[in-house]
């Protein structure tokens, strides 16, 4: 269903006691004004406050008891996870840049000349330049991690369409706060330890020893992350990689469902059939 369509139908079900997972954007943003800026008038706003943002690696306990879970967007999932450990530790200044690439399936199945084979093949195109609706979602969740409540941070987000069917690679850049540094001989090791400790209890996140590729997450519910520090600038560079149709959509919804009903988190997600 398109955005806004599910909210019109979900409201009565949730009010009658049915637990639900919404894969649209209708319940992701806590600030209704932001939702209306990017999506228009909300069709059923009464459950916005109660909905839990369904990124299990950040909100597993809340998901377990939720009546309504808002499944995260595809781009926000690797972007938020790639920055979560350093944001939660209070190590990052507010100015963040996310440069992301996605396969064509991320655009859905609508008929559009921009997504024809002849337009996409052997071409890379930036879109939503300066105004993409996933930006406030990324800013909201990183702001909450950083201790700012739901107050958005300064996030520049630029997505690109690339000639492959599925997959997202998000390259995230951020400045460390004054006095914080992971440069030097032991810096990379300390940074990796920070990330691995943060995700130690989360089976679908893998902190890699080298930058990930979309082939590694093809058809699975994993998010592979590689953090490092740019030697010349001292800036954090964190790369997050997922399959946009699995961890970025249906797989994450199944993961949330498993948590909601007390089932093993990995149930049904270890052997997946691919389409497309």
Catalytic residue among 74, 172, 223, 241: 74
- Three-state SS annotation for the chain: CCCCHHHHHHHHHHHCCCCEEECCCCCCCCCHHHHHHHHCCCCCHHHCCCCEECCHHHHHHHHHCCCEEECCCCCHHHHHHHHHHHHHCCCEEEEEEEEEEECHHHHCCCCCHHHCHHHHCCCCEECCCCCCCCHHHHHHHHHHHCCCCCCCCEEEEEEEECCCCCCEEEEEEEEECCCCCCCCCCHHHHHHHHHHHHCCCCCCEEECCCCCCHHHHCCCCCEEEEEEECCCCCCEEEEEEECCCHHHHHHHHHHHHHHHCCCCCCCCCCCCCCCC
Annotated catalytic, 241?
no
Catalytic site residues? 74
């Amino acid at each position: 269903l398109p955005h806004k369509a599910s909210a019109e139908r979900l409201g009565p079900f949730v009010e009658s006691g049915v637990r639900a997972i919404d894969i649209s954007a209708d319940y992701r943003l806590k600030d209704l004004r932001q939702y209306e800026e990017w999506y228009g008038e909300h069709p059923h706003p009464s459950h916005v406050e109660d909905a839990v943002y369904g990124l299990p690696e950040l909100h597993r306990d809340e998901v377990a008891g939720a009546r309504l879970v808002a499944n995260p967007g595809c781009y926000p999932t690797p972007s938020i996870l790639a920055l979560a450990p350093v944001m939660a530790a209070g190590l990052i200044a507010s100015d963040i840049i996310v440069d992301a690439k996605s396969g064509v399936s991320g655009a859905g199945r609508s008929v559009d000349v921009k997504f024809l084979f002849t337009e996409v093949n052997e071409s890379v195109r930036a879109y939503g330049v300066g105004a993409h609706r996933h930006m406030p979602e990324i800013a909201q969740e990183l702001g909450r991690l950083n201790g700012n409540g739901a107050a958005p941070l300064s996030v520049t987000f630029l997505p690109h369409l690339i000639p492959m069917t599925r997959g997202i690679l998000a390259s995230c850049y951020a400045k460390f706060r004054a006095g914080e540094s992971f440069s030097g001989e032991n810096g990379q090791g300390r940074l990796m330890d920070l990330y691995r400790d943060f995700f130690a209890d989360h089976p679908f996140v893998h902190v890699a020893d080298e930058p990930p590729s979309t082939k590694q997450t093809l058809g699975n519910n994993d998010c592979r992350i590689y953090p490092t520090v740019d030697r010349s600038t001292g800036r954090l560079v964190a790369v997050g990689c997922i399959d946009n149709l699995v961890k970025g959509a249906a797989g994450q919804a199944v993961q949330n469902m498993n948590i909601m009903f007390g089932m093993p988190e990995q149930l049904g997600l270890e052997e997946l059939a691919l389409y497309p």
